[in-house]
Amino acid sequence: MKEMVTRQTPRTGIEKAMWVGCFVLLFSHAQAQVPPNYEILVNTDQAYQGDVFFSIGGPPIKPVNIVSPAGELIFSENWPQEGFDWKVNDDGLITHYHRGVFGWITRDQNMGILDTTFCENGFTPDLHDFIRLPNGNKMMIAYSDQIYPMDLLVNGGDPNCVIETAIVQEIDSEQNVLFEWNALDHMSPTDLENANLTNSELTLNHANAIDIDGDGHIILCSRDLSEITKINHQTGEIMWRWGGSQNEFEFVNGHPFTSQHSARSLGNNHYIVFDNGNYSEQYTGEPNYSRALEYELDLVNMTATIVWQYVHPDLLHGLAMGSVQRLPNGNTLINWGTLNAQAVTGAIVSEVTADGELAFEMVFALGEHIYRCEKHIWQGAFEVEGCLDEIACNFNPEATISNGDCTYPEPGYDCDGNCLNDVDEDQVCDEIDNCPEVANLDQADEDEDGVGDLCDDDFGSEIDVLENTPIRQPVAWFNSLGQLLSKEQVEAVHSIWIIVAYDDGSSSKIWIE
């Protein structure tokens, strides 16, 4: 596969200052509003036409949300303690974590609750990831605090160290445990590169993503290990370890990912991952920055090759959270996570084409964070009020019921106030012009017969003159272009309209046979 590496030049200081200033103005009042508060900065025809699913973190009110491809907020609900990892599964069902009951809620596309899932064997589900499998089973992550004699591994280690350890559990629809994996059975606390191993408490994995690879085995993403691990779905044995201190692959191009999120299998040994890059400075000598990455693994030569990547033009660094999704049209949706302390906005979500072109970008108010953001086509049947008439100026293609408030243009005009037809170019639309072939902006119609004086054959003739009205005398003749004609020219022409000016100041249009 051809390598595609995209890294755009950062904005200049002036551009960045203008950008910052715009958002200070834009969001200066937003903090008092109910989230989400966002602005769509880019939305081209290359963007995938899916709805944007995300939940807000940060403010006290943390709604779950769906935004249409056009950027309209079409669903937003605040379910207290619910909504973390709000997403659509491969089977079309929507899932999210419930902090109140410590379980996973499954909803249909109309938001009806179908199921609440818990771990078994005394474990409590963690909120980072949950997947529904094609056979109806569910797989999730749990954390277990386990006592471990660290004094046997390091000098000064705590003999009763509490280690938070990742558990992967798969259950069926009857809550039967079909698979259970304990990280401490397969990994060592000494695998941690950036931890003080003499502490009384340690976190081994901080697992934040699980997935099923193309061959049916399990992919586990561990942030604190900076590692992606492949686990045999039948035996639980580790098949390979990629990244971190126990890395088995050579990174052919680019520096290793660190503190990563959202590792997903694309099939054929291709994987996509959001690299938070919390330790990238150790490899690059530059300030930490985040990347969206696609790798190809060679399991024979044990190499990891970046085949696509994207770095934000502003070198964004998401310290925590963050997600990446490969979309059906080949684009990649990137949620840049919780930005560092220098950020002047909340979450930033970018959609990028395979060629590295920005197709969509939405930016949130300062303090509004997003753990995961994905695009899916929502099949919900919630009613959206709006104008249903396609010819109306305010037609809403996303409306499902009429709000009884359609607006239409004036006759002869379009919705922008422009004439549909104006042959004589007198700024009066032909549909309402009383003399559409001759310019008559004043629309004069002295005999009030609906035909403008300049087009009225009968106006001013002897049969129309009121009784006792003196007969008018012509004093000048003009052609339809307004050019003066002599009496001899008038007598010589045939089959044309002429305009006659009379001695009383009136005029009429007359057909010469």
> In this predicted model, what pLDDT tens digit does every residue of 233-247 receive, in sequence order?
999 999 999 999 999
Paired strand residues for 444: none
Tell me the mean pLDDT in the region 410-420: 85
Radius of gyration of the chain (CA): 36
For 193, phi then psi, to 5°, come to -95, -30
Paired strand residues for 53: 66, 374
Is the model's pLDDT at 15 over the cut of 50? no
Q: Count CB-CB contacts under 10 A for residue 513.
A: 5
pLDDT tens digit sequence for 202-215: 999 999 999 999 99
Measure CA of the first residue to CA of the last residue in the chain; give whole Å: 80
Residue spans of beta strands (DSSP E) within 321-414: 323-326, 332-335, 338-339, 348-352, 358-364, 373-376, 385-386, 401-402
Residue 23 pLDDT class (50, 70, 90 cuts): very low
Is the model's pLDDT at 295 over the cut of 90? yes
Q: How far apart are CA 286 and CA 489, in angstroms?
A: 89
Distances (CA, A) of 33 to 29, 36, 59: 8, 8, 10
Residue 335 or residue 443, greater confidence: 335
Q: How far apart are CA 89 and CA 244, in angstroms?
A: 29
- Both tokens of residue 121? 């064997």
Q: Does the global pTM surpass 0.85?
A: no
pLDDT value at position 212? 98
* Average pLDDT value for the chain: 87
Asked if the bond preceding 35 is cis, omega within 30° of 0, the reply is: no
* Contact yes or no for 418/409 (Cβ under 8 A): no
Tell me the mean pLDDT in the region 187-202: 96
- Both tokens of residue 430? 């032909």
Is the model's pLDDT at 501 over the cut of 90? no
